[in-house]
Chain A
Amino acid sequence: MSLPSITDIVFNVLIYGIFSYSVLLLLSYIFIGLFSIGETHSYLYKNSFTDYRLLAASPHAPSVSILAPAYNEGKTIIENVRSLLSIYYSNLEVIILNDGSKDDSLEKLIDAFDLKKVHFYVNYQIPTKEVRGVYKSRNPVYSKLVIVDKVNGGKADALNVGVNIATHDYLVCIDVDCILEQDALLKMVKPFLEETDKKVIASGGVVRIANSCIIEDGKLIKVKIPQKYLPRMQSLEYIRAFILGRMAWSRLNGLMLISGAFGAFDKEIVIKAGGYNHNTVGEDMELVVRMRRYLEEKKEKYRVTYIPDPLCWTEAPD
């Protein structure tokens, strides 16, 4: 075979290979897009006249512990905690996990919320770094608030401490600097109440970029497109990833990732799966995979659900 004909074949293989890959990739995106549209439509129809308020006040609503790890967040910690305490849900506790901050976060919290150190028996169901102290407020207005001061061990370790300390049935893990929509928690908890033959083990929602948005007193007032190029591109990527990809995977019950910025979990399954792994950077995905594996091994039916509503807003680096 002559050299030109070999070159011809190589080029043709390359061209057709790239073309086939592109076609397959695009078809898979179209397939995922169609699935996502179907699932989003179904969600919108089902919730078109849902009154979430009754869940907030119902004595039969499940109990929820919010876990918010904080490391050197002194500048904004007070405002962020106030924002979390303003969430409208009766059966709630808010656990702030001070992960050995080197700044004055803890002192600021003690002053702002009139905290006192209490004796707290920590049951180390998941091994973690040492807890230095647990604080509760003297003011009954802040009775939902629990502040945990622990030795620095990273986000995963802080969340595991939260799992050990939480007294409620469901865990909502969030980044302390996130801004939640007013009904975010209610929307997040609802899928757990809708389970029938399949146990709902985790639930996630859309996280959006808050750059350039108008925020007052820890509440989102007006949504705006980020002005700078980089956050704007991230905004687009977030929408693609959260609405297009995850919605479709949720419909296929193949969702492997609940965002670490805002996700809800069944506490019992989290503990049985061994909690967060602090030897990985993708601890949120790793936990969901392990929870799924635990239930697969138990041969129990389960679901990881996803909500296409924007529930949580976060600042992106610019």
Chain B
Amino acid sequence: MLKGFTKFIKPDHLLTGVEILSAGFFIIILIIYCTLYLKKRRFFFTKKIQPELEAWVTKAILEDSEEGSRFNIPDNFYRILKRPLAKQFIIDELIKTKKNLTGFASKNIIALYEKLDLKKESLRKLNSRKWHILARGINELYSMQQMDTLSLIYQNTNSQYEFVRMEAQIGVVNMTGFEGLRFLDVVNYPITEWQQIKLLDQLRSAEENRQLATHLPKWLSSANDTVIIFALKLAEEYQQFLVHNVVVQCLEHSNTAVRLQAIKTLVRIADESTPQILTDHYPKEKFTNQLAVLDGLVKIATVDQAWFLIALLDDESDIVKLKAGRVLAHCFPLGLEALEERGKAPSGPYQDIYLHIKSEMGR
């Protein structure tokens, strides 16, 4: 074995290895240097054109003229715009500015975007195979309210690329408000909580859709659990009392997250039957959802739930005892006194719980 090894190890082999490694290092350093050089060039180019472009864009969008009036575009501006980097820079600037403006100035930004033929640049991105370029194109088009591209954007609402479909979903809602939510009928990929927050934010500025209640039952029985969760949030946010019964059915869903959101939604759209529905449901739930029920009951419990809550004071979990005590103290006139009485018990954390709740209530 040793002889075999000595045959293999020759200075030539070592030298070859060192050469290969050195070449590898040289290539890596060269790539890093070139990348940094290009980045630096791009940075300085942007810095150079930034003041001129910004000043001109600001002047143009604040012009007190009717929408559609034509902007005077300097010749050197067209020359600069031949550079893709400059085009992207100005698109980004226009989007950034539009986010902070409404009304006339906002319309001026869109007119400027169209006048500079930047839409072509955004549409070109829609043909890209790279997901991040495609998503950027969608973002630009909906930010600039290019309504004629709605169907193109809609096609991507169920894209296999997460970021593309997220932008497309935001886009259709941004452009058409509640109408845009029709993608919920077909989407079979999960809608993350982050995406739900973004969608709800987009809907905030939309005119309320009176048809929402008619769509909700369908979404509340979707095969996609995240669609159900989002529909529950919609019902909660827009106080859709008409779907109360459908939301109650969601308490029987197999997914814990759906049931948790259903509990939260029911509390927000509660009627006189809701506290009892929640207390009846309580024993069937997992621990975290049970805590959510108790948190919700603080807002809606009635005297009918008093015995249920008193029984929970004997629960083995101290958190349940604390939360049940909180509901008792907040919802019943003599709840705090009942807790005080319980606090006299020689064992258990009841005295501490009573003092904690009393302190919370500022009494």
Contact = CB atoms under 8 A, between A and B. Distances in A.
Given A9-B6, A54-B197, A30 B353 contact: no
Interface string B181-223: 0000000001011101110110000000000000000000000
Contacts of B227: none
A268 B163 contact: no
A9 B197 contact: no
A30 B194 CA distance: 34
Nearest to B167: A49
Contacts of B6: 5, 8-9, 12
Chain A contact residues: helix, strand, loop or mixed: helix
B254 interface: no
A15 B196 CA distance: 59
Interface stretch (B65-73, B329-337, B354-362): B354-362
A58 B192 contact: no
**Which bracket fits the contact residues of A?**
35 or more
B359 A118 contact: yes
Contacts of B9: 12-13, 15-16
Interface in B1-35: 2, 5-6, 9, 14, 17-18, 21, 24, 28
Contacts of A46: 132, 163
B192 A195 contact: yes
A229 interface: no
B165 interface: no
Contacts of A197: 190
A120 B190 contact: no
A159 to B, nearest CB: 19
Contact of B192 (A12, A49, A55, A196): A196
A121 B355 contact: yes
Interface residues of B, number: 39
Contacts of A55: 194, 197
B235 to A, nearest CB: 13
A190 B356 CA distance: 33
Given A119-B356, A123-B319, A195-B192, A23 B201 contact: no
Contacts of A119: 352, 355-356, 358-359
Interface string A88-108: 000000000000000000000
B318 interface: yes
Interface centre among A16, A58, A121, A192 (most CB of B within 10 A): A121
Nearest to B353: A121
A132 B293 CA distance: 32
B21 A23 contact: yes
A217 interface: no
A16 B8 CA distance: 11
A61 interface: yes
Nearest to B358: A119
Nearest to A1: B2
Interface in B86-123: 95, 99
B200 A60 contact: yes
A297 interface: no
Nearest to B8: A16
B233 interface: yes
Contacts of A54: 197-198, 201
A264 B135 CA distance: 29
A150 B297 CA distance: 33
Interface in A1-26: 5, 8-9, 12-13, 15-16, 19, 23, 26
A259 to B, nearest CB: 23
B352 A193 contact: no
B116 to A, nearest CB: 20
Given A8-B6, A48-B136, A119-B355, A193 B21 contact: no
Contacts of A194: 192-194
B201 A58 contact: yes
B197 A193 contact: yes
Nearest to A55: B197
Contacts of B353: 121
Interface centre among B5, B9, B318, B319 (most CB of A within 10 A): B9
Given A54-B197, A193-B194, A23 B355 contact: no
Interface of A: 5, 8-9, 12-13, 15-16, 19, 23, 26, 30, 45-46, 48-49, 51, 54-55, 58, 60-62, 118-121, 123, 190, 192-197, 268
21 contacts: A5-B6, A8-B6, A9-B5, A12-B9, A13-B9, A16-B14, A23-B17, A49-B95, A54-B197, A55-B197, A58-B197, A60-B233, A61-B197, A120-B356, A121-B318, A121-B322, A121-B349, A121-B353, A190-B194, A194-B192, A194-B194
Interface of B: 2, 5-6, 9, 14, 17-18, 21, 24, 28, 95, 99, 131-132, 135-136, 139, 163, 190, 192-194, 196-198, 200-201, 233, 288, 318-319, 322, 349, 352-353, 355-356, 358-359
Given A54-B198, A60-B193, 14 more contacts: A9-B6, A12-B9, A15-B9, A23-B17, A26-B21, A54-B201, A55-B194, A60-B200, A118-B359, A120-B356, A193-B197, A195-B193, A196-B192, A268-B288
